[in-house]
Amino acid sequence: MVYQPACGARDILPLDVARQRWLEQRLERVFQSWGYQEIITPTIETLATLTAGGTVRPETVIQVQGNGDEPLGLRPELTASIARAAVTRMAGMQLPQRLYYKTNVFRRTTGAELGNQQEFFQAGVELLGATGLAADAEILWLVQACLGALAVEEAYLLVGDAHLTQQLLSPFPAELQKTVRQCLANLDRVSLQALPAPWRDRALALFDLRGTPREVGERLAQWSDVAGVADRFAELQQLLGLVAESLSITLDLSLVQSFDYYTGIIFEVLISTETELRLVAQGGRYDQLLSIYHPDGTTVPGIGFVFNVEALLQAIAIPPAALLAPRSQWLVVPRTSNALAAALHHAQTLRLDGSTRVELALVDLTPEQIRAYARDRQIPYIAWIESDAPPQIEALSDGATYLQIQSV
């Protein structure tokens, strides 16, 4: 029997780990430079926590058996877990709270998706306890700072507003609002064409309500009879005016996220590759979510975003993994079994500065096999150890060797 990873899971081998860590470390440095602090929440949450308020559908959660009767599940995203932690474990702390995370999440695949990946890696931030123009602008600027740290040149920001879109849906009869919303979320134009008149034309107009802020503003004229639309759109224009020009911005008022907790701006980040536009990040404002978890139902505003690490890795240029993986500088080789103690001591002496990587030869090989191993691992120095003599240092260069005798 050949043992393989579970369906939907995969191994990440050392060179791929080096690429992923390279990316995560750059994002983390940006998060920290903006004053965000790392938070780690449990991999396992109660199913009630994960699905509170309808934010996550139970069928998308990988459920696990706990010690008690309460159903448990692996987190499919982080916002709900952080919201729970913020209003229970961090209650009373000074607001706003700036939090970031880099971790894995799990989503159950069903039906035609069976066999697809079920474990994903994410890195993102949550800004809790702040609302208004300044907080929204900070998040969009932070997105740009992250893309800049990764040297992304062609990125596109797709911006919507959940509140404004809900205002645009309000003229529809109650029984049609859910249908239209689902069609927007699923990009299902065909089903909208089957709606009865006059709602069909208005639904199709909403489906196509994207472009530059000016273009969208002109097309909003047909919703002039809906209270609050003009004022909300003016606020959205003011926000977009604060966003730096390093991103190409498209305003999309048909943008609806799969999670239902967004109450204000929502956005997606796409990166242009040789073959496609790849979705690498998404986020938005969720001012009602934390009240679901607060013991007193107190409302605490929040906004955040998340990068899909795998999608980023596939979309951006990263130095070759061989250059990113940390290499050992020394291979310490005991010439005889009697020299093992001396070799262990010498290797430890080399490591004392805390930055030098040292390997100990563990297999009985010929000198040429030792050298071949060191070259394959790109180890520049070999220390040959005798039990009663100074170390013999050999430097490997361009496939050739030269000997230098010294004490180290």
Secondary structure letter of residue 149 according to DSSP:
H
Sign for the pseudo-dihedral over CA of 21, 23, 26, 32: negative
Q: Indicate the pTM of the whole model.
A: 0.87
Detail the DSSP E strand segments found in 61-203: 63-64, 72-74, 97-106, 119-128, 155-161
List the pLDDT tens digit at each of the 408 positions of the chain. Answer: 888 888 888 899 988 898 999 999 999 999 999 999 999 999 999 999 998 867 788 888 999 887 878 899 999 999 889 999 998 888 778 899 999 999 999 998 865 555 588 999 999 999 999 999 999 999 999 999 999 999 998 899 999 999 999 999 888 888 888 889 888 888 889 998 988 888 998 889 889 999 998 999 999 888 888 888 999 999 999 999 998 666 789 999 999 866 667 899 999 999 988 888 999 999 999 999 889 888 888 889 999 999 999 999 999 888 776 567 788 999 999 999 999 999 999 999 999 999 899 999 998 899 999 999 999 988 999 999 999 999 999 998 754 444 443 444
Within 13 Å of residue 330, how many CA atoms lie on the same side as its CB?
A: 23
Q: Is 126 annotated as a binding residue?
A: yes
d(C-alpha 267, C-alpha 256), whole Å: 9
Q: Is 359 annotated as a binding residue?
A: no
SS3 111: helix
Q: Is 107 annotated as a binding residue?
A: yes
What is the DSSP pairing of strand 37-38 with strand 97-106?
A: parallel
**What kind of fold does domain 327-405 have according to CATH?**
Rossmann fold (3.40.50)
Q: Is 122 annotated as a binding residue?
A: yes
Secondary structure letter of residue 393 according to DSSP:
E
Domain boundaries for CATH 3.40.50.800 within the chain:
327-405
CB 165 within 8 A of CB 253: yes
CA angle 10, 378, 326 (to 5 degrees): 50
Q: Is 261 annotated as a binding residue?
A: yes
SS3 175: helix
Partners of 122 in the β-ladder: 103, 308
| CATH, range 14-170+244-321 | 3.30.930.10
Residue whose C-alpha is closest to residue 257's, from 228, 279, 235: 279
Quote the pLDDT of residue 227.
Answer: 87
Domain boundaries for CATH 3.30.930.10 within the chain:
14-170+244-321
